[in-house]
Amino acid sequence: MTQDNYQDYWSDALKKLQKELGEEEFNGWFADVKYLRSQDDGIFISFPSAFHRDRVKARYLNNIKAKLKELAKKEINLEFEIIQPAKTPVNIPIKEVPAAKNTVPPEKPVKKHHPNMRDDYTFDKFVIGENNNFAANAAIAISRNPGTAYNPFLIYGGVGLGKTHLMQAIGNYIHENSDNKVICITSEDFLNEYLEGIAQGKMNSFKNKFRYTEVLLIDDIQFFQDKPGVQEELFHTFNSLLNAKKQLVFTCDRPPSELKKFSERLVSRFEQSLKVDLQPPRYEIRCAILKKTAENRGASIPDEVIDLISKNISSNVRDLIGALNTLISYTEIMGQSVTLEIAQQKLRDVLVGNQHDVSIETIQKITADSFSVSINDLKGKKRNQKVVYPRQLAMYICREMTDFSTTEIGEAFGGRDHTTVMHSIEKINGLLITNPMLDSTIENLKRKVKDLITKS
């Protein structure tokens, strides 16, 4: 057995893991993990920080070792070393390399950004995970071939989950890469222009503006409820553009079936759309979003701070990035690096239910109540699915929301071994891949835990 083969085993094991986890989660944890060398029956791996090492070990070590054993037909030990990357000084911009003199200028001039869309709302800056994978890929397909396969397109979900970002990413891509006319407007502005058209006798101008565009993007259509006049106009605009094979994109905070005080025929048009649902991102994706946002801002944020924010803010992306921006602004104004202590101080008003305040008993109580079982059931020996599933969920949430080790968690669940806890965590991670709705269940349980802590 040569050392080179050990590196091959390591590479093949990671490829298998990448397929299971998905691109974003895998890159979030393994992009900075490096193979160093092989020795005897062990592989030496480097991590950029002890925090990074500990999180990967807790979440993925058993899975990786199992894959290595499957490939090598024997046990292969893993040894970890901490090799910290060179730090970039705070607030010192990296100089761009000047272009060579013989560089051929681009054939197509760069367009000015669209006046009604944010230039940072692009696909490059939209982090794709299991909660939005289908929506993002559909949006990309639409941007490349507007008015064809996926028309009309409706993005719905709660506040701050990225609906507007994804819609404007479509508009920005089409605007920059074609001559198609793009109109991006909020429901409020659409309503105001409609009322102004009536008041000033300029309805023909209003109709011509919206019915003769190539792409129409309208944000937050739920605000058209109980407004029959503008609904009537939107219905005819909808039909006119659809018949002309022009692209329509809408966002809404709920599915069409839950729109109240809307005309049935307009709801019917929305129901016929390609509908995609944005869910709150899971922990790994929240980490990836924060890391990518910090990278785009040129900020260096420690992993333990990323972990702090990701564990405590899970409801939506807007609040997540808002907390990060607070810390980035601190580094820019004060010229100081962010530490875990500084983050806890600056974000004390937005971090609800810090992990140090969460007890295993609280998680057990919330989970037991939610699944109509008793806490004794969770701690007991029952093996029926009615108890095993919530027990595994509770163990998973304990690992997500607390700093307790798997051994400590096992002890709190009736003296179970730490390997049982690890198996439960891996089981839930596997279910998250095949059942996207499970993520919502987990987030709801975590919110109930935080609410209980806040009230106590």
The whole-angstrom separation of Cα 166 and Cα 187 is 17
Which tokens in the block code for residue 270? Answer: 């929305």
E strand residue ranges, 269-419: 274-278
Q: What is the pLDDT at residue 139? A: 93
User: What is the second-level CATH architecture of the domain 283-346?
Assistant: Orthogonal Bundle (1.10)
Helix (H) or strand (E) holding 189: helix 187-199
Q: 302 phi and psi, to 5 degrees?
A: -60, 150
219 pairs with which residues across the strands? 186
CA proximity to 64, closest of 51, 75, 48, 54? 75
The SS3 assignment for 434 reads helix
The SS3 assignment for 379 reads helix
Which tokens in the block code for residue 46? Answer: 């480097």
Greatest CA span in the chain, whole angstroms? 85
pLDDT for 125-175, tens place per residue? Answer: 888 877 788 899 999 999 999 998 789 999 998 778 899 999 999 999 999
Which tokens in the block code for residue 81? Answer: 């070393």
Same fold for the pair 283-346 and 355-455: no
Q: DSSP letter string over 3-45?
A: HHHHHHHHHHHHHHHHHHH-HHHHHHHHTT-EEEEEETTEEEE
Q: What is the pLDDT at residue 331? A: 87
Q: What residues contact 3, with CB distance under 8 A and at least 6 apart?
A: 37, 38, 39
Q: What residues contact 130, with CB distance under 8 A and at least 6 apart?
A: 22, 25, 282, 285, 432, 433, 436, 439
The whole-angstrom separation of Cα 283 and Cα 314 is 8
Burial class (CB in 10 A: 0-12, 13-18, 19+), 237: buried
Beta pairing, strands 42-47 & 34-39: antiparallel
Q: What is the pLDDT at residue 89? A: 42
Q: What is the pLDDT at residue 91? A: 42
List average pLDDT for each run of 10 residues in the chain, which is 456 residues long: 70 87 74 84 83 75 87 87 59 42 54 88 85 88 89 89 94 94 95 94 93 95 92 95 95 88 92 87 85 88 91 81 90 88 84 63 94 94 92 92 82 90 90 80 85 70
The whole-angstrom separation of Cα 153 and Cα 67 is 41
pLDDT for 436-450, tens place per residue? Answer: 678 778 888 988 888
User: What is the second-level CATH architecture of the domain 355-455?
Assistant: Orthogonal Bundle (1.10)
CA proximity to 419, closest of 428, 411, 427, 410? 410
CA 169 to chain centre: 16
CATH fold label, 3-82: GMP Synthetase; Chain A, domain 3 (3.30.300)
Q: Which residue pairs from 124-128 have beta carbons closer than 8 angstroms and sit at least 24 positions apart in sequence? A: 125/165, 125/292, 125/293, 125/296, 126/162, 126/165, 126/166, 126/169, 127/24, 127/281, 127/285, 127/288, 127/289, 127/292, 128/23, 128/24
**Helices and strands per DSSP (H, E), number in the chain:** 19, 8
Q: What is the pLDDT at residue 202? A: 92
Q: Which amino acid is at 202?
A: K
Q: Which residue pairs from 387-396 have beta carbons closer than 8 angstroms and sit at least 24 positions apart in sequence? A: 391/424, 392/424, 392/427, 392/428, 393/367, 393/428, 393/441, 393/442, 393/445, 394/363, 394/364, 394/367, 394/368, 395/421, 395/424, 395/425, 396/424, 396/425, 396/428, 396/429, 396/442
Respond yes or no on whether the N-terminal peptide bond of residue 152 is cis (omega within 30° of 0).
yes
The whole-angstrom separation of Cα 387 and Cα 375 is 10
The whole-angstrom separation of Cα 307 and Cα 313 is 10
Q: What is the pLDDT at residue 92? A: 33
Q: Is the separation of the CB atoms in 259 and 137 below 8 Å?
A: no
For the chain, the domains span 3-82, 133-278, 283-346, 355-455
E strand residue ranges, 384-424: none
Q: DSSP letter string over 287-321?
A: HHHHHHHHHHTT----HHHHHHHHHH--S-HHHHH
User: What is the second-level CATH architecture of the domain 133-278?
Assistant: 3-Layer(aba) Sandwich (3.40)
